[in-house]
Structure 1
Amino acid sequence: MADTATTASAAAASAASAATDAPPFQLGKPRFQQTSFYGRFRHFLDIIDPRTLFVTERRLREAVQLLEDYKHGTLRPGVTNEQLWSAQKIKQAILHPDTNEKIFMPFRMSGYIPFGTPIVVGLLLPNQTLASTVFWQWLNQSHNACVNYANRNATKPSPASKFIQGYLGAVISAVSIAVGLNVLVQKANKFTPATRLLVQRFVPFPAVASANICNVVLMRYGELEEGIDVMDGDGNLVGSSRIAARHALLETALTRVVLPMPILVLPPIVMSMLEKTALLQARPRLLLPVQSLVCLAAFGLALPLAISLFPQMSEIETSQLEPEIARATSSRTVVYNKGL
């Protein structure tokens, strides 16, 4: 009966929005095809849309209620596919897919760029002291740790000790690598002062990339021990798989290496060229605002590109998983929440 009601709601929504360009609404499914990189790119552009940060509590409740009405076949007449897609976008941007709880605003994916750009600017400031290097690496990894934890696969409970281990491991690795590389650069006598300054600007990337891997692995190590839930094509729970957990962590770690590349590599190159222009040489006070804009542009490009590498709901063949998982379902493939 519920399936019939849902089908009726889908038909009503489709008919009501036949004149629009919105595709037919599918509850819990992405609006754009996830089999292609371009489809995932458009999907994650929706997820990181900073406008969702300003959604009111009332609008969120309305969006959730609209989706509930669709699910139970009680959708009011005249609701369009566009309205349903918009409601689902709001829900996915604010509520965790596993716990259905609100994610704290600075740690949502839609808040990653607005709240992360000032940190990126700080990481790339020239002539860093030891204290400033430690501070910005600590702040960056603190932000990353909270974002990782807030957007983790939450189908299995994780103790706070795992979060603390991951956080401390990421901070120690990031600070150690950044400080060590800075010391090496300072002691490289064959570098000219200008070359030394340029090289120093690239120090944050290897520090951040390696720390990001450490952060992901340590904070989500429990998934490797306990496994993560895998589901068949109808959303039915099949079992808990440690092999799927390894795939999820590998994909997330690769994303965390690719993400800082444009953010921490492009701005130093662009700024080294812009600083030679007559405008910035005559007005050095513009350096920080210009660098902030360059970092914001690089961040805005890098984030959707990086997280589009793999679907959030990844698919894996059951033959690759544990024998008990393969025996528990007739589906050729199962899906799992990779996390972001």
Structure 2
Amino acid sequence: MEADLSGFNIDAPRWDQCTFLGRVKHFFNVTDPRTVLVPEWELDWAKVMVEKSRMGTVPPGTRVEQLLYAKKLYDSAFHPDTGDKMNVIGRMSFQVPGGMIITGFMLQFYRTIPAVIFWQWVNQSFNALVNYTNRNAASPTSVRQMAVSYVTATTAAVATAVGMNTLTKRAPPLVGRWVPFAAVAAANCVNIPMMRQQELIQGICVKDRNHNEIGHSRRAAAIGITQVVISRITMAAPGMILLPVVMERLEKLRCMKRIRVLHAPLQVLLSGCFLIFMVPVACGLFPQKCELPVSYLEPELQDTIKAKYGEPVPYVYFNKGL
């Protein structure tokens, strides 16, 4: 017996996006690292199925489960604004495999200056690609802006790491292990705003509840980007703060002293254990579709809204990106 798909809306969220738990469930689904291994032809099939579902031309015999799976693949691999396929490394579903390798090695090789510089450079290259891939596509970023963002964030991360390494040489060993997190947090505060500076300059598109474009707001962009920065730092914090404590104790064990070659792989594995939970949790901290009181907007945009609608409009909405 075929399922009745007449009332099925493929763009309707499966879980309540107004609640933190609902958003976490959504991102557990979307950031599933297994989707990175899905072949290109299957991703293309998912896009076709999503588009057909939107037009109401789903092939006979299609089940709801198939459409939900197609939507999962579509959300994990295609940009929400443009519908274009994103590069694999920049997808949020690649945060676990990519992040665990980089984080594990940053935490392992933190003692020498060359190692610190190299792994901070690798991390910021990865972050720059992720930030560009998940940007708000309505605000294009030039090659020059991307280059400036990349160089600035990398310099900030390296300077923070090298400077704090120098200052903490006489501090307890555990303090030195926390230096990579300080560098990552500092770089995120630079990398994300710089990569998305066009949104801060020109404003981000805000819409009414019926998805009609109202205008562009710089204040909305600042709020959205701030939330993204907080999410990224939260994503890294548990692993980069707690894992050094764990490794500090483990490395004192006699058996661990005999297998030093396995310390780095162990840190990579443990980093992955943290990230597999923290990626969806951090992405779900704030709603993707942000609701902002009109009173927070620029005065000229408030006047435009009053003139256009002729009645009080309490909220506007915008997509903050990831």
TM-score (ref. length: structure 2): 0.91
Cα pair 1:40 1:308 within 8 Å, conserved: yes
Residue 160 of structure 2 corresponds to 177
Distance in structure 1 (CA, Å) of the matches to 2:231 and 2:44: 32
Distance in structure 2 (CA, Å) of the matches to 1:69 and 1:241: 34
**What is the letter of the counterpart of residue 221 of structure 2?**
A
Cα pair 1:241 1:325 within 8 Å, conserved: no
**Structure 2: any 5+ residue segments left out of the alignment?**
none
For 1:35-54, list aligned pairs within 5 A. 35-54=18-37
Aligned CA RMSD, in angstroms, stands at 2.0
Cα pair 1:255 1:309 within 8 Å, conserved: yes
Distance 1:177 1:144, change over 3 A: same
Deviations 1:3-33 (A, max 9, x none): xxxxxxxx9227xxxxxxxxx7433232211
Distance in structure 2 (CA, Å) of the matches to 1:98 and 1:209: 27
- Which shows bigger deviation, 132-141 or 119-128? 119-128
Deviation (angstroms), 1:93: 0.9
- Which shows bigger deviation, 203-212 or 280-289? 280-289
Residue 67 of structure 2 corresponds to 84
Cα pair 2:109 2:115 within 8 Å, conserved: no
Residue 10 of structure 2 corresponds to 27
Is 1:151 matched up with 2:134? yes
Deviations 1:193-234 (A, max 9, x none): xx2x32211111111101101001111111111111122333
Deviation (angstroms), 1:92: 1.3
Residue 208 of structure 1 corresponds to 184
**What is the letter of the counterpart of residue 40 of structure 1?**
R
Distance 1:154 1:62, change over 3 A: same
- Which shows bigger deviation, 318-327 or 57-66? 318-327
**How many residues are matched?**
314
**Structure 1: any 5+ residue segments left out of the alignment?**
1-10, 15-23
- Which shows bigger deviation, 69-78 or 36-45? 69-78
Give identity over the alignment, percent. 39
TM-score (ref. length: structure 1): 0.86
Deviations 1:169-210 (A, max 9, x none): 111111001100111112x3xx4xxx2x32211111111101
For 1:1-340, list aligned pairs within 5 A. 12-13=4-5, 25-126=8-109, 128-186=111-169, 188=170, 191=171, 195=172, 197-321=173-297, 322-324=301-303, 326-327=305-306, 328-329=308-309, 332-340=314-322
Deviation (angstroms), 1:78: 3.3
Deviation (angstroms), 1:324: 4.2
Cα pair 1:316 1:333 within 8 Å, conserved: yes
Distance in structure 2 (CA, Å) of the matches to 1:284 and 1:180: 27
Residue 7 of structure 1 corresponds to none
Cα pair 1:120 1:295 within 8 Å, conserved: yes
Deviation (angstroms), 1:279: 3.3
Distance in structure 2 (CA, Å) of the matches to 1:288 and 1:206: 20
Q: Which has the higher contact order (CA 8 A, sep 6+)?
A: 2
Distance 1:69 1:308, change over 3 A: same
Instruction: Could you list the structure 1 runs, at least 4 aligned residues long, displaced by more than 4 angstroms after superposition.
Output: none
- Which shows bigger deviation, 237-246 or 199-208? 237-246
- Which shows bigger deviation, 146-155 or 327-336? 327-336
**What is the letter of the counterpart of residue 270 of structure 1?**
V
